[in-house]
Structure 1
Amino acid sequence: MATRVQDLLAGAREQLRFEPTPKRIRALSGDRTVVDSRAAVLVWEPRRVVPSYAVPEADLVGDLVPDERPAPEGRPGILTPRDPFTLHSTPGGSLTVRLPERDLVGAAFRPADPDLAGMVVLDWTAFDQWLEEDQQAIGSPRDPFSRIDCLPTDRHVVVSHRGLVLADTRRAIVLFETGLSPRYYIPREDVATDLLVPTDSHTVCAYKGRASYWSASVGDETLPDVVWSYEEPLHDGLPVKGLLAFYTERLELTVDGVGL
């Protein structure tokens, strides 16, 4: 019986998973290089969908001391980057990285697993800067099993809300990202930009970069942060630079007349 690959990957989600990376990985706190490793490993704790970097303890500057704070209360279900790093789902010990100028409290985790002996998993957000080789990395480690494809399409894409058309195009770029629904990025000329109001919201994607957001004003209703764009994208997002995408889970999307 054939196995769908996505089901195979999802079936392993309850396990502690790891994958070595050949990249040189560095992490900085202020101007201090705290981590410099050519033997890093990507680690997914059980139920985590985004990996963290783990490095040999010898590749980390500073003292590792036990984090004496009580562990956060666990919860069932998928763990996303919005869940704190200290919410661990595998046995091990939480650690503070002690530097001369400050403590990075709870920034490391020593998993109690023989395959990761001598390694510590690191909290991405505890450090001020990360480098993969000589390129600054943002958001999170990049997952080697995820990819992005940006493809032009002449499909007829219409985005609307309660009968009011917000976008109508045959010039979209479809962004396909592993495990996620396709997103249609639309030229501004094909969008009712007079209905959009910029907001102060921003998000960061490890692959596409930093997104800016707009709300949509539809009659007497405001739809907050329902549109976004990558104005200065990273490499993977260059084909959609400056185009507008819609949070279609909150709107109506039709492609070639078919509702999605």
Structure 2
Amino acid sequence: MSKHILVVLSEYGYWGEELVGPLETFEKAGYEITFATPTGRRAQALPPSMDPTYIDPPLGKSVTSPEMAAKVRALDGSSRLDNPLDLSAWLPDRPYRSDPGFLRAYEAYNSRLDRVRAEIADRYDALLIVGGSGPIVDLANNWRVHDLILAFHALDRPIAAECYGVACLAFARDQEDRTSIIRNKHVTGHCIEYDYKDGTGFMGTDFVIGPPPYPLEYILRDATAPDGSYIGNFGKETSVIVDYPFITGRSTPDSYLTGEKVVEVLEQGLRQWGFHAS
């Protein structure tokens, strides 16, 4: 049977190649794709990811080829991303403990999560969180996204994330012990050398700010301690790490490789790749 991948996109902008790369790879493998966004709004590609003349300041070069820009524009202008799955309608809202009816609300919340987990078990084989600047705004600290990740984790299903989308993994935590699910795991993600500086535009579809509001590398180093590690591979053209169930890609050049490793995890049982296991 064909595999089915749930692809989560920010409503504040995804980086085009970080969707196109895995998407083309999954389609080549014959996989079915469902797109999801936090509130069901249509996702849009970040303008720089469709512009081959855009020079990425930390890298000092264009990071989008004319061919990739054309692919991103074609996908972004199609109806393919219309009507995504609405995570806010599918997953329950975590109740405040100050709620006068907290106990009953929490029981209902957990019951709904059990149903969501059963639906995932029946429907999806893997999860992908696409990167770009948008995930910083509406995915990284989104409780529903955290619960979605935790559900896939509880089912032992592969979980892939790219670029700033990897922050979602660091913040997905069981609310009893508060430890990240990537504790003692090996991951990659946007390293500090590739981050923007003060005075450099960091663009989303609805905002322009200076540097990212958090250094992803530092968050990932802390979240994977004490026996895991963050692996930036600075100075190397690609950086993808597989430490099952996680498949993480550093940035734009890693998009196709991230997709390929997801396929290898699903089809060949790949469990570790890209680092030296102790």
TM-score range, shorter chain: under 0.3
**TM-score (norm. length: structure 2):** 0.22
Higher relative contact order (CA 8 A, sep 6+): 2
Which is greater in Rg?
1
**TM-score (norm. length: structure 1):** 0.23
